[in-house]
Amino acid sequence: MSDLLARLSESVSGAQSLEALTRPLLSLLEEVTALESTYLTTIDLDAGTQHIVYARNSRTLQIPEGLTVPWEDTLCKRALDEGRMYTDNVGECWGDSQAAAALGIETYLSMPVYAGQGALYGTLCAASSERRHVDDQSRRVLALFASLIGAQIERERLLKQLLDANAQLSNLATTDPLTGLFNRRALLEGLPRCCAANLIYPAARAPRLSLLLWISTASKRSTIALGMTWAISFSRSWLNACAERCAAKTW
């Protein structure tokens, strides 16, 4: 048990992603339960499917990664509905499951994985093509692993939310709300970098001069709205032509 705890601590502390955490846990789960296949699934209740995300197979039984099956036919749904998370006689308990029969599952152990505020993500499972007894201690280890995976899923979800929020704030801070082009702040911050990298070419200066001359003329004989519409169109075309080597802005 001390060796298991040491390896568990190493896996958890060194994991930077869901996969990096899950794969070592599947290996540990195989050792603890003595079941030949261990796997993590996701459940899509709206689509009515269950998907095998990561799997480890050590002997006869093969649970393929990437497999998607109808949720109604799965052992996991039956286990959750009945509150029976372990059986060493699948054929007798759930003989109507075509997926279990096709895979040859005889012993089945499962634990739901929850992320966030109790949202069902999927299941952490172990299975065998033979009848195997699984003791209470092994089931507690399974529950611990499922909670660790759920916590990692939630961390990654929150991190993505934070990165998306930062990207939106950055875009709002550097974009003109009327035209969708870079504002003064973005230009003043990016211009020294462009100049240092020698990315502003003489060929890119002529369009700027012609734009200013056109707007000056247009403002005298037409509406501001027309001039602004043309400026937006011109600037976006210019951005495409410069291929990210120059920055267009609105003053």
Q: What average pLDDT values come out for the chain (251 residues) when binned by 10 residues?
A: 64 77 94 95 96 94 93 94 94 89 92 90 96 94 94 87 78 71 67 58 48 50 59 60 48 47
30-to-18, 103, 134 alpha-carbon distances in Å: 18, 18, 11
Contact 108, 86 (CB under 8 A): yes
181-to-47, 171, 195, 209, 210 alpha-carbon distances in Å: 40, 10, 20, 18, 18
Give the number of other Cβ atoms within 10 Å of residue 90's Cβ.
23
Q: Which two tokens stand for residue 229?
A: 């519409």
Domain ranges of the chain: 2-158, 171-242
Strand partners, 123: 41, 112
- Residue 221 has a pLDDT of 53
Report the distance separating Cα 107 and Cα 95, nearest Å.
12
Residue with tokens 């869901």: 18
Residue with tokens 């089945």: 108
- For CA atoms 86, 143, 37, 7, give the dihedral sign: negative
Report the distance separating Cα 212 and Cα 218, nearest Å.
10
Q: What CATH number labels 2-158?
A: 3.30.450.40
Contact 22, 156 (CB under 8 A): no
